[in-house]
Chain A
């Protein structure tokens, strides 16, 4: 599993928490990977254990439970601890100023994020019905053209082979006829040899097309499809 897979799975697992909590957590873990650096990516992933674990702890935190892992799950000790936390600082404490400042930046961020989410949703909702059939149609057309070319080449190939076979046969018949009617026999075997030559030439040309041009065409078609799909994914 890499970082991107981890984040995608985490996002999927956090679908049922409020948007604000989800974006905050996603940003935190994104920052976390950034700060750890690329060289520590696997280490971070193994120490976070799994997206499932991260999501579980996060949801436990939201529910007001504090699940600190195996050692902490004994005999309901945690509830006692949590409830008995003393909070000496009440509302009249002079933090009002810093709090309102914080709220200002926070509000801005939230607007920004909401706008991004709406934009993304709009692109997916409006774009998908157009983009997805379009991509499928383009891929369909490309495959149609490729199959058409292949069929045409195969047809011409069969034709030339047929000419080759009939040429050999005609030449054979001409040679047999030479014993009874020299002139006719020569003519027929001449035509036969001519056909054989045309057939051979044609089959060689078709063979060349099959060996050189068709793989090139396939490669081209595959490349085009890949480009379209990549762009689709990136979007």
Chain B
């Protein structure tokens, strides 16, 4: 991809991915889902998840799966509010960019 993905955009994408699962989802799945739309290295996601957790946008809980504990991430109310802000911002931002791109003279 030629465009950079900033921290805020990555936060927004991760929050959106996690918010799709009402029961929460786990690290491996989050990574696979994000990687479907974005070229990020697998090692990038953990720091993002950890930061969102510290910012109380995500909460974690452990649940048994296949006899092992698996850590699940879930979007908090605060996280949802943050995600909605991102959605609005993105709408405005992407609209402006699109207008500039499409409004120019095309060769």
CB neighbours (8 Å) of B91 from chain A are none
Residues of B within 8 Å of A53, CB to CB, are 41, 43
B98 proximal to A (CB < 8 A)? no
**A132-172 toward B: CB 8 Å interface, digit per residue (1/0)?**
00000000000000000000000000000000000000000
Give the CA-CA distance A62 to B81 in the complex, in Å: 24
Give the interface segment out of A77-85, A180-188, A196-204, A212-220: A77-85
Mostly, the B contact residues are helix
Contact, CB under 8 Å: B71 / A85:
no
B window 6-54: CB within 8 A of A:
6-8, 10-11, 26-29, 31, 40-44, 46-51
Residues of B close to A98: CB separation below 8 A: 59, 76-77
Chain A residue at minimum C-beta to C-beta distance from B51: A61
Q: Tell me if A5 counts as interface (CB < 8 A to partner B).
A: no
Q: Are B70 and A57 in contact (CB-based, < 8 A)?
A: no
A94 to B41, CA, bound (A): 35
Residue-by-residue, is A57-81 near B (CB-CB < 8 Å gives 1, otherwise 0)? Answer: 1101110001011011010011001
**CB proximity of A74 to chain B, nearest CB, Å:** 7
Indicate whether A107 reaches chain B with its CB closer than 8 angstroms.
no
CB distance from A108 to the nearest CB of B (A): 10
In the complex, whether B90 has a CB less than 8 A from a CB of chain A is no
Chain B positions within 8 Å of A81 at CB level: 6-8
The yes or no answer to A176 lying at the interface (CB within 8 A) is: no
For A21, the closest partner residue in chain B by CB is: B50
Known contacts A31-B27, A34-B68, A94-B77; A49 and B85 CB within 8 A of each other: no
A34 to B43, CA, bound (A): 16
Interface pair B40/A68, CB less than 8 Å apart: yes
Q: Is the interface of A mostly helix, strand, loop or mixed?
A: helix
Q: How far is the CA of A24 from the CA of B62 in the complex (A)?
A: 12
**Cα(A18)–Cα(B60), bound, Å:** 19
Given contacts A98-B59, A98-B76, A105-B61, contact A78 B6 (CB under 8 A): yes
Q: Can you report 24 residue pairs joining A to B where beta carbons are below 8 Å apart?
A: A25-B50, A28-B27, A29-B46, A31-B28, A31-B69, A32-B28, A36-B28, A48-B42, A57-B47, A61-B47, A61-B48, A68-B6, A72-B6, A82-B6, A85-B7, A85-B11, A89-B78, A89-B81, A95-B76, A98-B59, A98-B77, A99-B76, A102-B60, A109-B62
Interface residues of A (CB under 8 A from B): 21, 24-25, 27-29, 31-32, 34-36, 44, 47-49, 53-54, 57-58, 60-62, 66, 68-69, 71-72, 74, 77-78, 81-82, 84-89, 93-95, 98-99, 102, 105, 109
